Amino acid sequence: MAQKTVVLYPSLGVGHLNPMVELAKVFLRRGLAVVIAVVDSPDKDAVSADAVARLAAANPDIALRFLPVPPCGADHHDSLPVIRITEVLRLANPALRDFLRALPAVHALVLDMFCTDALDVAAELAVPAYFFFASPLGDLAIMLHLPFYYPTAASSFKDMPETVLRFPGVPPIRALDMVTSVQDRESDVSRARQRQCARMLEARGIFVNTFDWLEARALEALRCGLCTPGHSMPPLHCIGPLVHVIGNTGGSGETHACLEWLDAQPDRSVVFLSFGSLGVFSAAQLKEMARGLENAGHRFLWVVRTPPEHQNDHSIEPDLESLLPEGFLERTRESGFVAKNWAPQIDVLRHKAIGAFVTHCGWNSALEGIVSGVPMICWPLYAEQRMNKVHMVKEMRIGVVVEGYEDELVRAEEVEAKVRLVMESDEGNKLRERLVMAKEIGEDALKESGSSDVAFDEFLRDLENKRT
């Protein structure tokens, strides 16, 4: 049988491209040819040519191709990210159409959740379209339900922050924990997101980077149609946990010093604090965190960035001496390691010295915690992380929450309390046992005949059997 070709179409940004690369590896392993179409736009969020070249060099079997997209209007740069990105992707449609037409055959087009306008191109060319949802299934359950719920809700979420909302298949969630982009019902961003979510139902199927066991209730609710009343739900393929392995050098070629430091620490003794690619804290918050860590008395590995009020460009190296409490670095010289800006997170999490992970609840970070079997302390910061936190703490039961994350400052005492809880208490031990179980079940899901493997088989059968 001739090899089938799948085109993957990520939204702007490395954060969208990396998960697609991991998905591409699954397609390749299962004998399909894969092309990733990368939007080439002057937009500030577009992936740089260098980043694409690095990914291409590391993955020679995946064809990465640029789609040239014309610049947007003059006021484009001032728009909010969702609006900007939606506009770039809308303008990319002609290039996508030409690109797909030029390929000898395309058997499926896999779209990122922001790429809903590309459904029009897929329909025009009669190419089956699927989505890849790179956040928890619980988020999908909420987001698909939103167009059915929000128009008749009492008010915008921002106007009822403490109201507890109930969506099928997920734990009760306070309105203030809903994703930032939909807080204001009347905003263009919120309308755009609802339109995009409503259109996801047009897909032939939805891949999700999770595994059945982890989110069984959301899976059931989605499959039964509880989240999308009166509409048929596309088949769901939970094919995770997929994590992006980039190696321990961060592209520099040298092993990061924190890994050598970890080698010298006892097993499960170190608290790792890392907050995604963008997470930053005020100087006041950094000082509270430092005090909390020091008072908790456990070893730590902490990724610190320059606070936003000091510098807009957070890639600039932080001045640790002035940012952290006086004498902190000296007092914790043996027991702590502060990494400036970045640490090789996946390698760190897999290191046997790590005992807990303080995370901003980005979904990649959460999955990396799960595949490493490390209990988490959830400190959500932006985007959909507060929703993720709810699933992680209440549904998956893989972490505890740092109280006060929605306020200006989380106090040192709270940091200390949650570190101690996970590192010292019975509750912490139970959490660790649960993570060991989640890790093993996640590994099994990916093995032959595991749930994620079977979910992929179902997609292959769909590709084989159906025509649009």
277 binds ligand UDP (CB under 6 A): yes
| 111 bridge partner residues | 9, 131
405: three-class secondary structure by DSSP: coil
Q: Which residue has the tokens 């509880």?
A: 226
Nearer to ligand UDP, 136 or 234 (CB): 136
Q: How far is the CB of 22 from ligand UDP (least distance, A)?
A: 10
Please identify, among the stretches 111-119, 272-280, 431-439, 440-448, the one whose residues bind ligand UDP according to the rule CB under 6 A: 272-280
- Residue 257 interacts with ligand UDP (CB under 6 A): yes or no: no
Strands 173-174 and 205-208, how do they pair? unpaired
User: Which residues, in sequence order, are CB contacts of 78 under 8 Å at separation 6+?
Assistant: none
Could you tell me where the beta strands, DSSP code E, fall in 209-306?
236-238, 270-274, 299-304
**Coil, helix or strand for 205?**
strand
Which window, 20-28, 59-67, 270-278, 287-295, contacts ligand UDP (CB under 6 A)?
A: 270-278
Q: Is the dihedral of CA 137, 143, 144, 148 positive or negative?
A: positive
In the stretch 285-324, what mask flags binding to ligand UDP with x, by CB under 6 A?
A: ------------------x---------------------
Q: Give the phi and the psi of residue 14 in degrees, each rounded to 5.
A: -60, -35
Strand partners, 274: 359
- Residue 86 within binding range of ligand UDP, rule CB under 6 A: no
* Interface stretch with ligand UDP, choices 162-170, 311-319, 337-345, 430-438 (CB under 6 A): 337-345
Contacts with ligand UDP in 37-66 (CB under 6 A)? none
Question: CB-wise, 361 or 415, nearer to ligand UDP?
Answer: 361
Identify whether the C-beta of residue 331 lies closer than 8 Å to the C-beta of residue 294.
Answer: yes
Establish if 416 lies at the interface with ligand UDP (CB under 6 A): no
CA atoms within 13 A on the CB side of 262: 28
Nearer to ligand UDP, 87 or 347 (CB): 347
345 binds ligand UDP (CB under 6 A): yes
* Longest Cα separation, the chain: 68
Does residue 285 contact residue 292 with C-beta atoms inside 8 Å?
A: no
**Binders in 219-248 for ligand UDP, by CB under 6 A:** 244
Which of 209, 365, 372, 451 is close enough to bind ligand UDP by CB under 6 A? 365
Give the shortest CB-13-to-ligand UDP separation in angstroms: 8
Query: Does 388 contact ligand UDP by CB under 6 A?
Result: no
x/- site string to ligand UDP, residues 110 to 149, per CB under 6 A? ----------------------------------------
Number of residues engaging ligand UDP in binding (CB under 6 A) = 17
Residue position matching structure tokens 């005090």: 291
Residue 22's CB is within 10 A of a number of other CB atoms, namely: 21
In angstroms and rounded to an integer, the radius of gyration of the C-alpha atoms of the chain is: 22
User: Which residues bind to ligand UDP, rule: CB under 6 A?
Assistant: 15, 244, 274, 276-278, 303, 342-346, 362-365, 368
